[in-house]
Amino acid sequence: MNILQILPSLDIGGVETGTVDLARHLVVNGHRAVVISGGGRLVKELERANARHYTLPVGKKSFFNTVKMVNAIASIIKQEDIDIVHARSRVPAIAAYFACKLTNRIFITTAHGHYKKHLMSEVMGWGKYVIVASNAMAKHMSGAFDVPRGRIRLIPRGVDLARFNFRDPHAHFSQKFTIGMVSRITPLKGHADFLKAVAMLKGRIPGLKVLIVGEAPKYKYREELERLSNRLGLAGIVEFTGSSDDIPEIMSKLDLLVSATVTPEAFGRSIIEAQASGVPVVATRVGGVVDIIEDEKNGLLCQPFAPRDMAGQISRIYVDKDLWASIAIEGRKRVKENYDLKLMMTRTLALYEEALKTQNILVIKMSAVGDVILSVPSLRAIKAKYPDADIRVLIGREARPVLDRCHYINDRIVCDFKGKDRGFLGLWRLGRELRKHCFDMVIDLQNNRKSHMLSFLSFAPLRYGYDNRKLSVLLNRKVKDDAPYLDPVEHQARVLALAGIKSEDKTLELWPSESDDADVQKFLDDNWVKPGQELVGINIRASSRWESKNWPAGYIAELCDRLASEFNIRIVLTGLKSDTGLANKITKLTRSKPVVAVGRTDILELASLIKRFKAYVTPDSAPMHIAASVAVPFIALFGPTDPARHLPPSKRFVLLYKTRELRCGPCYSPRCSKNFKCMRKISVDEVFDAMKKFLVKEDR
C-alpha cells in the first residue's frame, strides 16, 4: 500500500509523533509512506525511517491557499501513486478531501481533538472511515457531526514500550517528590488549576518539585502562568522546561504525572507514556481520559476546575506508598494489553486494507413502485460484482417496501420530494445526508435532473448514468441514451456495463414475508374463498392520473362474469384505496360478485395475493411488475405507453396492444381526445381468449 499522511507541521507533539511512528511501521512492513506537512523538527526522523516528505503550507488558514493546495496534493497523489490519504488535522484535511475526489483515492481521517461544532471541523467526519482514540470521541463525532457509527473506528493510540523503561515503584521511593505536566501550554490544558493545587501542597510535601513540559503556542499565556506561579509562592518549585524531544527521559524523572485538562480530551497520550514508565497518574475526569483510567485501579481521577480535589488526589499518591505501587504496576499492565504501539499499528493497517477492499455504492432509483421492481436485476448484478460492498438505494417513500428483505442491498435511503425533501433546500439537505455515507460510486438508474444533482451532491468520485442533457454534465461517467428500443432492464444494463458490471439475468424478485402470506390467507378466508379454489386477478386501474391507461369498467365486469361462468373460477379485483368507487361500480355490473381486494393490501401483501392467481389481467402499472416478480402469468393491456420500454421481463405473458393500428401513439398523454380508443379497442373476447391459454392449459 502507498499511504499519504497529511498534517500542518512535524514539530514535537502527540499527533506528529504518531505520524512518524506510523510511517516507520509502514516502511518496515513493506509499504510506502509519504507525509505532507509544513515541515518541522521531526522531518529528519521521518526521512531516517525511509519515508518521503513534501513540504507544503497545508496548515495555512486561507481559502485561496486551500484551493491552491488541492491541486498540489492531487499532483503528489498521482506522482506517488497513493492508495489512501490519511488526514490528521482540519485545515489540511479540507484540501486533501477534494484532492481525493479529483483523483478517486480513499480519504481517511483521525479525529485527534474534541472539536467544536463548526463548518471547518465537519471535514474530520468526511473520511470513508473516521478513526477515534476513545469512546468519548466516537460519541462526539457521531453526535456533533452526524458521522454514522458504522464509519467510526476505535483505534486507541499506542506507545513503543521498548522506549519506556518500567521503573520498579517499590525501589524508587526517595525524599524528593517530582510532579510533571506534559502537554502544550494552552488554557484548555488546565495549568492554572494545577498550579493552584501545587500551592496547596507545597507545605505538606517536603522536596516538592514541579516540571511543566511543553511548548507554548502563545508565549504571553506562558508568561501569565509564570506570574501566577510566583504569586502562589512557587518560585524554585516550578520549572517551565519548554518542549522536549525525549519524553522517556522526562518520565524517568517523575514520581507522578498530572493531566489537568478542563475540556474533553480525545485521548491522553502523555498518560499512557507515564503508565508505560511506571509513573502513577492523577487526571481530570474528562473525555477519553476515562477510557484509559479506571479510578483507584490504574490511576486516580479528579473533577476539572477543582484544584482542591486535585491536590487531595496528589496527596494520596504521596502518602500511600502501596497505592502508588499498585497503580504504577496496573498502569503498565494495561498499557501493554491495550496501548502497545504494535497493536495500534496492526489495527491501522487492517483498517487500510478494509478501506481498499470495501466499496460504498449508492444506487439511485426514486421512481414509482413498478420502476423500482425493475431495478432488482441491476441490484443483483451489482451485488455479484461487489459482494463485500455496502450497497444503499436512494428510493422514494411510497416504493420503499419494494426492497423489504432484499438481500442484494444493505439499506435504503428514503426521500420524499413532496415533503421533507421538497425544493432546493430539501435537495441540498438530502445531498448532505448522502455525503455522510462517503460513497465511492453512484449508479444513477433514475437519470433525471434531480438524480443527477444528487449524484453530484454525494461527492462520490465515480458517478455513472446516461448522457441525456438533463444536467448529466454533473456525471463523470456517461453513456449516450441512443438506444430507444431497449426494455427497461436492458436500458439499465448499459449504465452497469459502463461500470464494468455484467447484468444478464433479467428475473424480477420480491420478498413477501410469512406474515404477509398469513394476512392474505385470512383475507381470503374472510371472503369465503375455499381451499383449492382457483383464482384469477384483475387490476382495475393503472392510475387515477393516467386515465388513458385504464380498461373500461364495463369490459372488466363482462370479463369477470365470462371467466366465472366458463371456468368456475373466483375473480379477485385489485387496486388502490382510491379505486374503491370504481370497484363498487364494477361489482354492481357483475353477476358473479368478485372478491374485492381493492385498498386491502400493501405492496408485499399484494405480491403474496398475486402468487395465488392462475393468471392476472392488468394495464401498464406496478401490479404488472409484481406479477412478473412472483412468476404469475399475466395479460398486459397497453395503450398510450410503449411496451418495448415498460413491459417487465417474464416467460409467461400475453401482450395486447392496439395503438400502432390506430397510428396515434404511443402518445404518453394521461388524457385522450379520441375517447380512449387504444384501450377500448382491446376487446373482452381478446382478453378472454388470452386467458384461456393459461387456464385451459393448466386444466389438461
Tens of pLDDT, residue by residue over 364-373, are 999 889 999 9
Please report which confidence band the pLDDT of residue 178 belongs to, taking 50, 70 and 90 as the band edges: very high
Q: Tell me the mean pLDDT in the region 325-350.
A: 92
Element (H, E) at 607: helix 603-610
pTM for the model stands at 0.81
Put the strands of the sheet holding 441-444 in their side by side order: 411-415, 390-396, 360-364, 441-444, 462-467, 477-480
Return all residues near 689 (Cβ < 8 A) that are at least 6 apart.
Answer: none
Residues of the chain with pLDDT > 70: what percent? 98
Q: Which residues pair with 208 in a beta bridge?
A: 177
Please report which confidence band the pLDDT of residue 121 belongs to, taking 50, 70 and 90 as the band edges: confident
In this model, does residue 700 exceed pLDDT 50?
Answer: no
- Cα distance between residue 100 and residue 485, in whole Å: 39
- CB of 86 within 8 A of CB of 3? yes
Report pLDDT digits (tens) over 258-306.
Answer: 999 998 888 888 999 999 999 999 999 998 899 899 999 999 999 999 9
Report pLDDT digits (tens) over 201-252.
Answer: 988 888 899 999 988 888 899 999 999 999 999 988 999 998 887 889 999 8
Report pLDDT digits (tens) over 664-679.
Answer: 777 778 777 667 788 8
pLDDT at res. 644: 86
Residues of the chain with pLDDT > 90: what percent? 72
Please report which confidence band the pLDDT of residue 697 belongs to, taking 50, 70 and 90 as the band edges: low
Question: Which of 74-88, 237-251, 307-321, 430-444 is predicted least confidently?
Answer: 237-251
pLDDT at res. 699: 40
- Kindly list the structural domains of the chain, giving each domain's residue range(s) and its CATH number in brackets, ordered by start: 2-154 (3.40.50.2000), 161-339 (3.40.50.2000), 358-498 (3.40.50.2000), 514-699 (3.40.50.2000)
pLDDT at res. 206: 87
Q: Is the peptide bond before 649 cis (omega within 30 degrees of 0)?
A: no
Closest C-alpha to 273, from 180, 352, 191, 195: 180
Please report which confidence band the pLDDT of residue 698 belongs to, taking 50, 70 and 90 as the band edges: very low
Please report which confidence band the pLDDT of residue 507 belongs to, taking 50, 70 and 90 as the band edges: very high
Q: Which residues pair with 480 in a beta bridge?
A: 467
Q: Tell me the mean pLDDT in the region 119-135.
A: 90
In this model, does residue 632 exceed pLDDT 90?
Answer: yes
Q: Tell me the mean pLDDT in the region 621-628.
A: 95
CA torsion angle 601 606 611 613 (round to 10) = 70
* CA 544 to chain CA centroid, nearest Å: 38
- Mean pLDDT (the chain, rounded): 91
In this model, does residue 3 exceed pLDDT 90?
Answer: yes
Report pLDDT digits (tens) over 650-666.
Answer: 999 999 998 877 777 77
